[in-house]
Amino acid sequence: MSDWIEFEEGKYAISRAYLTNDAQNGVMLLEPVLEIYTGRFGKRQMKGFGLVQNLALVELHEDGDRIDLLLDLGSSFRFRMENPILQGGKVFAPNVRSQLHFYPRQPWQALTPAAFDTQVGRLHLLSA
């Protein structure tokens, strides 16, 4: 899965990141970061993290288990990560945020800035 990762090793600040579902609901990740690293078999891999409002994430799951991730890395780098592995906190109280980790299951899809903005513009952002 490393051939599709076009970035060098390192940590990259993400300008905007949104978890989305099929019902066009979304949750914004705060302070998102993407990390590219070499795995134990010498292949380039990717993971990321950001803060999420836990109750908003629970609400996002009410429409189904499939959640995608929209990522804006600045310049012309915009991507859609389909159904990534998500790992996060388990405290579900109002105004609680926790760090959410995400890992791709498959290569992400490059989006044009216009396509990214269109997808973000369709979202109904949830907040707890």
3-state secondary structure of 67: coil
Any idea where the domains of the chain sit in the sequence?
Answer: 10-121
- Quick: pLDDT tens for 19-63: 999 999 999 999 999 999 998 888 899 999 999 998 888 899 998
Which of the four pLDDT bands, split at 50, 70 and 90, describes residue 128?
low
Is residue 1 predicted with pLDDT exceeding 60? no
On whether the CB atoms of residues 104 and 84 are closer than 8 A, the answer is yes
pLDDT above 90 as % of the chain: 71
Q: Buried b / exposed e across 85-108, counting CB within 10 Å, b at 16+?
A: eeebeeeeeeeebeebebebeeeb
Block residue for tokens 């799951």:
61
Predicted pLDDT of residue 10: 97
10-121: CATH number? 2.30.110
- Global model pTM greater than 0.85: yes
